[in-house]
């Protein structure tokens, strides 16, 4: 009688292989899920930290340059700060008092001075006296390239400045500075909150975000005098504490993460 070789797997062997394969697959899937969650958490943290750092850079850069004694800190609150921010600087190279308002052709050294900016111009008044010099405040009604040059050969920037009062006391070589008014605070756009700046005409410009919404106080300010006591009047401010918070980022499993950053800014007084 011929006996044939029996080849193949028994049922027990198949079950063992299936179980081992399932274990391997589950382990691989678990590793994949864990890695994905770790990546989600890391990405949320990096995104939040970048947003916080950028927001801090914007506010610190702006607030550090304002002069409280010079009246640049206009209004303050726990969720906003209203400032007069420097935007341009130059020297007057030609004055035309026959124009209304007066025309100052200016050599710009930094930034730009635009129409609707406020401006301060140094008035020497009597060149023989030292105690009659003053800074005159006004408003730029028109600005742009003049098509001419200053005596130095540099292009001249055309500025018509109104409300200066005794404008005929401004002479060639006088310093001129341009300022813009901004209110920094939290604004909501398409359901997300951003650090934004608002112009006096109501135009709102998102600067960086998203940040935590109003309920999380994504942007908040505290104001202190030189003794560290909290103050409510702009003229009394010695330094400012800025607190920034990210939104709550979902990372799976019903969990969320968030971050915050606190910076202290000492304005130029």
pLDDT tens-place values along the chain, 269 residues long: 555 555 666 777 677 777 777 777 777 767 766 666 665 567 777 888 899 999 999 999 999 999 998 889 999 999 999 999 988 999 999 999 888 899 999 999 999 998 888 999 998 876 666 777 888 889 999 999 999 999 989 999 999 999 887 656 888 999 999 999 999 999 998 899 999 999 888 899 999 989 999 998 999 999 999 999 999 999 999 999 999 999 988 777 777 888 899 999 999 86
Residue 105 inside a domain? The answer is: yes
Q: Are residues 135 and 198 in the same domain?
A: no
pLDDT value at residue 70: 83
Q: Are residues 92 and 162 in the same domain?
A: yes
Tell me the residue range of the domain where 195 lies: 49-82+182-265
Contacts of 140 (CB under 8 A, 6+ apart): 113, 114, 115, 116, 117, 118, 119, 159, 160, 161, 162, 178
For the stretch 167-207, pLDDT in tens is: 568 889 999 999 999 999 999 988 999 999 998 888 999 99
Domains contained in the chain, number: 2
Count of CB atoms within 10 A of residue 130's CB? Answer: 8
> Of 77, 61, 81, 55, nearest to 212 (Cα)?
55
For the stretch 228-240, pLDDT in tens is: 999 999 999 999 9
Q: Which of 148, 180, 212 is the last residue of a domain?
A: 180
Residue 15 inside a domain? The answer is: no
Q: Are residues 92 and 204 in the same domain?
A: no
Q: Which of 152, 180, 208 is the last residue of a domain?
A: 180
Q: Are residues 172 and 55 in the same domain?
A: no
Q: Which of 162, 180, 198 is the last residue of a domain?
A: 180
Which residue(s) pair with 89 in the sheet?
110, 177
pLDDT value at residue 169: 81
Distances from the Cα of 224 to the Cαs of 65, 88, 269, in angstroms? Answer: 17, 29, 14
Q: Are residues 190 and 170 in the same domain?
A: no
Contacts of 161 (CB under 8 A, 6+ apart): 101, 102, 104, 119, 121, 138, 139, 140, 141, 167, 176
pLDDT value at residue 218: 94
């Amino acid at each position: 009688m011929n006996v044939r070789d029996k080849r193949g797997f028994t049922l027990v062997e198949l079950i063992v292989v299936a179980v081992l394969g399932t274990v391997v697959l589950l382990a691989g899937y678990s590793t994949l899920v864990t890695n994905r969650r770790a990546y989600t958490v890391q990405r949320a943290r990096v995104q939040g930290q970048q947003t916080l750092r950028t927001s801090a850079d914007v506010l610190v850069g702006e607030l550090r340059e304002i002069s409280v004694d010079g009246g640049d800190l206009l209004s303050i609150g726990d969720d906003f700060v209203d400032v007069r921010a420097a935007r341009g600087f130059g020297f007057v190279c030609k004055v035309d008092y026959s124009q209304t308002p007066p025309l100052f052709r200016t050599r710009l050294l930094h930034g730009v001075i635009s129409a609707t900016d406020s401006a301060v111009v140094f008035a020497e008044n009597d060149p023989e006296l030292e105690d009659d010099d003053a800074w005159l405040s006004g408003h730029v009604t028109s600005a742009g390239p003049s098509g001419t040059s200053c005596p130095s050969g540099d292009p001249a920037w055309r500025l018509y400045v109104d409300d200066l009062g005794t404008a005929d006391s401004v002479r060639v070589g006088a310093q001129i500075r341009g300022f813009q008014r901004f209110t920094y605070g939290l604004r909501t756009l398409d359901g997300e909150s951003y650090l934004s700046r608002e112009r006096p005409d109501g135009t709102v410009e998102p600067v960086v975000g998203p940040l935590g919404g109003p309920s999380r106080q994504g942007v908040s300010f505290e104001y202190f005098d030189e003794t560290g006591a909290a103050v409510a009047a702009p003229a009394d401010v010695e330094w400012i504490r800025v607190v920034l918070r990210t939104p709550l980022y979902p990372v799976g499993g019903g969990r969320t993460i968030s971050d915050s950053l606190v910076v202290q800014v000492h304005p130029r007084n």
